[in-house]
Homo-oligomer: A and B are copies of this chain.
Amino acid sequence: MTKSEKIKALQGFSVGEVAERSGVAISTLHFYEAEGLIESWRNGGNHRRYSRDVLRRIAVIRVAQRAGVPLKEIAEALKTLPQKRTPNAKDWARLSAGWRGELDARIETLTRLRDELSGCIGCGCLSLKACPLRNPGDALAAGGSGPLLFSSPSEI
């Protein structure tokens, strides 16, 4: 860390600096703070100051969003990070591992849908009684009590 970087670390980043370095709009940073996703303190003139850690936090938030995790869930996960010390690699890895499961599930759901869709392109999608798309696998597997798209195959 250079001397000027040490000063930076003590004074903190301004909201504009964080926006530029993270690629996130200032309004989004305000929004994230209001939603409890990030934190800041204020300087004498009521301007926000951020610690260096906020950059990694924002990176994690954006990755989780890409994985399809809603902000509220991300906020919950971030609250499980240690408050006393700066989170380390292991802490971040724990969050990632949790989200990987959700991501796996989403990929599997979409992959199943794609396979069914592929089959139906060949068979005249949605026109045959046996079409799996008409009766989503999940609802069927759950015992048929789910909200079936069509109550009887003869409907179409």
Measured CB to CB, the residues of A under 8 A from B are 20-23, 52, 55-56, 59-60, 62-63, 66-68, 88-90, 92-93, 95-97, 99-100, 103-104, 106-107, 110-111, 113-114, 117-118, 120-127, 133-134, 136, 147-152, 155-156
Contact between chains at B92 and A59 (CB < 8 Å): no
Cβ-closest chain B residue relative to A60: B126
Whether A23 and B150, one on each chain, are in contact in the complex, defined by CB atoms closer than 8 angstroms, is yes
B residues in contact with A113, CB < 8 Å: 63, 66-67, 103
A120 lies within 8 A of B133 (CB): no
Cross-chain contact A55 with B117 (CB below 8 angstroms): no
In whole angstroms, what is the CA distance A41 to B136 when docked?
A: 30
Pairwise interchain contact A121-B150, C-beta atoms closer than 8 A: no
Do the beta carbons of A96 and B110 come within 8 Å of each other? no
Which DSSP category, helix, strand, loop or mixed, fits chain A's interface?
A: helix
Whether A121 contacts B93 by the Cβ 8 Å rule is: yes
CA–CA, A21 and B150, complex, Å:
5
Contact across chains for B63 and A124 when beta carbons are under 8 A apart: no
Are B103 and A110 in contact, CB atoms less than 8 angstroms apart? yes
B156:A59 contact, CB within 8 angstroms? yes
**In the complex the two chains form, is B99's CB within 8 Å of A117's CB?**
yes
Q: How far is the CB of A142 from chain B (nearest CB, A)?
A: 14
- Closest chain-B Cβ to A141's Cβ sits at a distance in Å of 16
